[in-house]
Structure 1
């Protein structure tokens, strides 16, 4: 892989931003080349709300990026967006080291952080060490202890080929449908005008899905065979909660 390809593959993207004028977090999907100037000077990191963001438009991968230099403040210390993204191996090792109860607690914390109570991000960021932030994982090399951030991807965002194979914390709010095949099932996540499938083994086929209800959804996995199929890192790396 060339250095340019590697840079593109690891490009940091924001699926949402904080608007200081509207005092709320707004989805990146609401931006386009015709309206982004309305928000141009009021877009900030959705976590720390300190670092300024700018909209980069191109036909293949329009995205938000942090402004740098000059009077632009950096991300607040302990903000997940201020850390390097964790490698796939690091995330796998981290999840493998957790038992089922710990994974359940981590998913619950991620759901609060990303979906049900976004104001709680400020509470987590008041912890200067960052060790309690559900989006950060510890990396230890000898006597050196550092943190990396788990990549996140809104289920309602645009997926591209460069997203395939990368482990993400997927999150969003949408409807759920069950396609039961008998020995296994596909849980269909309907969100943002698209449908994403998640495989469920026979012993984990849910029986509590209400197709007309809205759910908060968070899972850890990667796009395997297509842009519309998520392979979970572990079979229990999925949590949903009725809105």
Structure 2
């Protein structure tokens, strides 16, 4: 089980039976003298919907975020029960998978993160290849001291604030986006970028970042909204930031319905 307290950028809101970004609480707090009363005792872990969360106000040093209250517990099988996987562990895991296996993993994560089956996540028995109760698709396995243990994958929505304080650990980045292919040309070859835009608070599509795709030319419709899931780490050498894919196949997008 996790030895460190985790923070949350989204939450399950019981009155609406849905998952929302923390921005909704922040907007309310900013216009109600710091109060978040309509959300108190009604916000829970976005994954298991069992562990009760509390809102931590923004300070000069830290962003506003959500944390689990000490007396509350995640449901067995929820990925937030486990320590986060190290960068090395995630890279080793991804490199061990074939292309179709990476796509299968991304597909199951997409279904879970966006709740595409419209149901509460089922934490019923799901035995993985190592015999562990691997109930969340946001976990991977790691060998430690001759034992196989579960590790959680970090996650981050693409429409949230991102800066160097997020570090360069490997995350599962996800969101609803617009995509555009940008062709670039060097002296003797062409390469492609996948431009990602997200909705801002004014419901406008704004550029967020480019993904380097090398010789891969993605087939996308610039006027279509997509679900996207990416496994990679942040890179700040190119402003404002970009994402280094853990593997050229560690990206999946699907038309938003």
Instruction: Confirm or deny a common fold (TM above 0.5).
Output: yes
Bucket of the pairwise TM-score, normalised by the shorter protein: 0.7 to 0.9
Q: Which residue of 2 aligns with 1:3?
A: none
Q: Which has the larger radius of gyration?
A: 2
User: Is residue 164–residue 227 contact of structure 1 (8 Å, CA) maintained in 2?
Assistant: no
Q: Flag as ranges the 4+ runs of structure 1 deviating above 6 A.
A: none
CA apart distance, 1:13:
2.5
Extract unaligned runs of 5+ from structure 1. 1-6
CA change 1:227–1:67 in 2 (3 A) is farther
CA change 1:103–1:176 in 2 (3 A) is same
User: Is residue 113–residue 121 contact of structure 1 (8 Å, CA) maintained in 2?
Assistant: no
CA distance in 2, matches of 1:143, 1:50: 32
Q: Which residue of 2 aligns with 1:66?
A: 68
Q: Which residue of 2 aligns with 1:186?
A: 193
The answer on 1:107 being equivalent to 2:106 is yes
User: Is residue 78–residue 135 contact of structure 2 (8 Å, CA) maintained in 1?
Assistant: no
Q: Which residue of 2 aligns with 1:147?
A: 150
SS at match of 1:37: coil
SS at match of 2:23: helix
CA distance in 1, matches of 2:119, 2:139: 15
CA change 1:120–1:149 in 2 (3 A) is farther
CA change 1:177–1:167 in 2 (3 A) is same
CA apart distance, 1:37:
2.8
The answer on 1:221 being equivalent to 2:232 is yes
SS at match of 1:107: helix
The answer on 1:91 being equivalent to 2:93 is no
Pick from 223, 229, 233 the counterpart of residue 212 of structure 1: 223
CA distance in 1, matches of 2:117, 2:155: 15
CA-based RMSD? 2.0
CA distance in 2, matches of 1:231, 1:40: 38
1:103-142 deviations in whole A, cap 9, x for unaligned? 011111111111252645522x222754253211112224
TM-score (norm 2): 0.82
Larger helix percent: 1
User: Is residue 45–residue 52 contact of structure 1 (8 Å, CA) maintained in 2?
Assistant: yes
Aligned residues: 229
Extract unaligned runs of 5+ from structure 2. 127-131, 201-205
CA distance in 2, matches of 1:237, 1:121: 26
CA change 1:11–1:165 in 2 (3 A) is farther
TM-score (norm 1): 0.87
1:30-66 deviations in whole A, cap 9, x for unaligned? 2213363321220000111110001111243111111
SS at match of 1:39: coil
Q: Which residue of 1 aligns with 2:203?
A: none
